[in-house]
Amino acid sequence: MLYDDNVSADVAAIVNLHREGPTATASVISAWRAVTAAASRGVAADLVLVLDNADDATEQFAESWRSRGATIVSTNEGDLGAARNTAAARVDAEWLAFLDGDDLWSEDWLIRAHAAASAVGPTTAIDVFHPAINIIFGDHHSLLHHVSSTSPDFSWARFRLHNSWTALSFVRTTHVLSVPYPRNDLDRGFGYEDWSWNAEIIRRGGRHNVVADTCHFIRRQGQRTLLGQSQQSLRSPYPTPDLIRHLPPDELPGATTALSTLTATSDDLPNTHHRAEVQLSRSHLDAVRFAITIEPAIAETITAEGNPRYLPQNFNTHVTPAQRALESIDRAAATTTFSTAAELCSTSELLGALAPAERARVIADVLLDPAYQSKPRGESAQLDETFGFFPQLVSATR
């Protein structure tokens, strides 16, 4: 059953399930151990399994966890973001912690996230908490390093082109109820509900915070996942660009401030991913050892002993050629007169040096910017190329 009206938990540990069946065992065990660890430290946490259009195998698997105290919430949303919204509305807890049915938490995630969130104290601002690193395993092996949105290393322009935080967040229930996740619409070519939600949090003056010495384990399964499908689509809505375009050029926050004043070509800029020797803290190594006991496949990315491995590492602070091209367009818009979006895009030499897919992504951001939509699109080969990558923009930007 669901929570009684007179029962309130500190944290609802929400695991979203669809058609994973018993393959979700590792994820649910990691959540259950995190809930148990939190309870041992005085944090009342409840395990909640959300079944969204689940098949019989997944329903039977979830039912087997009732005896361990799991609450089951059934929905027919057919959408990951909408299922999170349903869970937020149907549990009685101050905080929500989200986990997808193919990923894992570390055992201390709820303890550390709750401590970090509690330390912020009562505030009207929307604070969202994320792990410091994500260890990617499965079809792809890498490390994703999160950065706080308030950090001087955080780049607004880069965030408009690349999502900076995974969906496995820790946030107040009231914030999800007031800022619900948008629906994916992959049939029409729109996706990335977590990216769009992350952007809406910032648009409303919220903050994305990193919890020190924490990590998650993210399974990559190619095009079989919603992320994989969304990578073939354009997310909607795009992050509101007012954050950067309504600021004077000299006040752009983070890494963009220093680099945007330089004269450089795309060849001078680093790639998003760098191969580097992995250096993990003691807390991270403890988390790795814990996770491998549940999901041995993680050892294919990084061993329990923390043996040095050269892995692609995305620090979310590296400045990409696409980011620099978008910045140059922003500056041109603020300092020059232009009559069409096509004319504006033609002002950036860096844009022309990008690979076609990257160039299309930058131009798509420009086309969907409300600040530019009062101008005609204009005609150009670059725009035609963009509409080839993202045909849904043809009608969306008229």
CA–CA separation, 191 and 203 (whole Å): 19
Q: Which SS3 state, helix, strand or coil, does residue 63 take? A: helix
pLDDT in tens, the chain (398 residues): 343 333 479 999 999 999 898 989 999 999 999 999 999 999 999 999 999 999 999 999 999 999 889 999 999 988 889 999 999 999 999 999 999 999 999 999 999 999 999 999 777 789 999 999 999 999 888 888 899 988 877 877 778 887 889 999 999 999 999 999 888 766 666 667 888 888 888 878 889 999 999 999 999 875 455 444 444 455 544 444 443 333 333 443 333 433 333 333 434 334 445 667 778 889 999 999 999 999 999 999 998 887 767 787 777 766 677 888 888 888 888 788 888 889 999 988 888 888 888 898 889 888 877 667 677 888 999 999 988 888 877 776 76
Q: Which CATH architecture has domain 9-242?
A: Alpha-Beta Complex (3.90)
User: What DSSP assignment string belongs to 267-305?
Assistant: GGSPPSEEEEE----HHHHHHHHHHHHH-GGGGGTS-TT
Give the CA distances from residue 344 to residues 58, 368, 382, in Å, rounded to whole numbers and listed in that order.
51, 14, 11
**Can you give the pTM of this predicted structure?**
0.85
CA–CA separation, 126 and 202 (whole Å): 9
Q: What is the identity of the amino acid at 279?
A: Q
Residue spans of the domains in the chain: they are 9-242, 321-396
Are the C-beta atoms of residues 296 and 327 closer than 8 Å to each other? no
Pair of tokens at residue 115: 């401590």
CA–CA separation, 341 and 238 (whole Å): 17
CA–CA separation, 316 and 320 (whole Å): 10
Peptide bond into 253 cis (omega under 30): no
